[in-house]
Structure 1
Amino acid sequence: MADLNNAEHGMIGNHPYRLEVALHDVIMAGDGWNITLPENPGARPIVQTVTENDEKCPVFGPAFLQKALNVVSDRAVRVRGEISTDWPRRSTKPDHDGVVRHPLWGGESDAWFCLHCSGKLTGIQLAQNLWHCPGCGASPLDIFDTAFWCDDEAKSLQPVKTEGAVDGDKPDFGVVDDRPKLELNGEKITLLIRSALLDDATNISEKLGALQAEITVDDENDVWISLEEDLWPQDKEPVQALIVAAKLGLEVELESTWSTIPFHWPGLGELTSSTSEYTQMMLDAYAQCDSLPNSKT
């Protein structure tokens, strides 16, 4: 459903609603329903609900729906008027030959072409429909005075027929499921598996091993975990990581690898589970070798 954070608030009967304009579309939303009236004057209102014909949902009541559509339509008229005001006068007022000016990048003509549907349009059609294609609903961004994508100088393009106004037609209804859905991908799986590895770690060496572990997730969400043998004991099974994988229905392959570890003496990390204590032990060990970054020789 619509997320209207800075919306206006109102009531129709006992039902509260929120009203907002987003990218020139007018959106009204209530509990379990919303209505969207697109910027395109030729588009139908779109009604979305979280359930099918439910008596508790007010938009299924004809009287409520009509009042809501009136509110949305009134706001849409204001929005479209503001758009027209920002455009050159010639964009909405054709001359006696039907010549209009493109509202975004200029250029004047009485014949125009829609890149989206390859239809041929008149300037009068566009001026009356806020520069949206009356055939496919494309925005002014898809309208050009030449069909540059056509090899035959637009001779094969057919005129777009302007149907009757649809403002009074019934809106399009649709049911949407706005419940949160768990969508697992490689990044999310890796995050959970690494967190589980940290649960398995009992000392600093193993924590570093969990953080350094290479976790790969394939297209079928099977998981490979490569653990540094100097940081993670070869005979230690990452129990929590395997439990998490099982809960997610994932297959796991484990392997030990050898690579460059972040600090010398990995065994120091096996003596403590405190990062601050390990840091001091590590600094002391480097100091004995006179190899601290700020040491003087």
Structure 2
Amino acid sequence: MIMPSARRFDQAAAFPELVELRESVRAADWTAIELFFAGLSDVDMTAFAVNVVGQVEGAEDFLAGLPPTPLARRLHAARRIAKAWEIRTGYRAQHVKREQFEGMHAQLRIAEPILIELTAEDPSDTVAWCLRLNTALGLQLGQSEARRRYDRLARFAPHCFTAQSRLAQQLCPKWGGNWEALHAFGQECMESAPPGSLSPTVAAEAHLEHFFDEGDGYLRKVTVQREIVAAAEKSVLHPDFAGGYHWPRAHGVYALLFATMGQHDRAAVHFTALGDAGSEYPWQSASGSPESHFRTLRDKALGGVK
């Protein structure tokens, strides 16, 4: 039995089937895990569920010992990637010790060959390509390699939000990119996205990352505000929006942005949709306690509704 660990903003909490999946991993119930994934067809929902499994601390030995099916190998790689980031922590590079980087890279070097094999065996394995974007980031393989991996994935899933959001992180200056490239990619995702999809939110996430770096003044720009409103209208506010397992993250991005802008009526729409559902991103990027920041902005936004 794998024992649970405390997590802030439990990404599975809004979805009872994901809570059950996580318990199946802790119980080492491979049959239940296989049955769960057999019922998924959407690449973003599958990638999200793979990440839920990957974040079960202590599951690596169980996953590594399974018969080497593609699913088992994906899940094992996902666990190694998650463990790598647990070792590194979410601090900026200057605050991470050399031993942490070494431990992180050791885990990623276990995951990377697994994923290379999977994408060689099946170039359309989009979830494996999503995971390879994670290893590219952590192993610092550079912008060109990350874009190559994304382009390979996009041949089979051109509007994969999981991959788009990960590449957007790679394009941030903190990972060797630049703002121009990041915003260009965000606009590319929004303009090509089907209405009601998650992809326009990549443009909003680009502005969110820029705000995290430059502060509140960035969000006072009218052009920035208009692009965020347009992204919300084409994604979470569109009548066709569903969002799969990513809807708490998407609404959270807009809730944080609009609340920070002081547009409390707009923010209230997203906080109302969220209820008590939270996701680590974007709230873990805020200063102080993520939960406290979430509650403070939510109370201010909902308190301003007449």
| TM-score by shorter chain over 0.5 | no
Query: What is the TM-score normalised by the length of structure 2?
Result: 0.22
Larger radius of gyration: 1
Query: What is the TM-score normalised by the length of structure 1?
Result: 0.22
* Greater helix content: 2
Higher relative contact order (CA 8 A, sep 6+): 2
* Greater strand content: 1
